[in-house]
Amino acid sequence: MKAWGADIAERYIERINILKSARGVEDLYRIEALRFHELKGRRAGEYAIWLGRRERLIVTFRGEAMTVVRIEEVTVNHYGD
């Protein structure tokens, strides 16, 4: 928590809870505050969820039903994807 700050830590936990309750990626696209989007280029197949100013949560899914969600990383300075 010290490295990212309390605000990012709170949003991270909130986003994890949203991922747990989502039935599919369509649910995530509907929540504008997430700024949920699929990545391109070398990160194709991964998705980003906004955490803060420049911080984002990178996730991948197994299947359309999202039965398995894998947290790939929390990153800053994502320009150049």
* pLDDT tens per residue across span 42-57: 999 899 999 988 889 9
Across the beta sheet with 68-75, the strand order is 37-38, 47-50, 56-62, 68-75
Amino acid identity, position 18:
I
Tens digit of pLDDT for each residue in 30-45?
999 999 999 999 999 8
Once rounded to an integer, what is the mean pLDDT over residues 74-81?
65
DSSP H stretches of helix in 22-67:
25-30
pTM: 0.81
Domains of the chain in sequence order: 6-75 (3.30.2310.20)
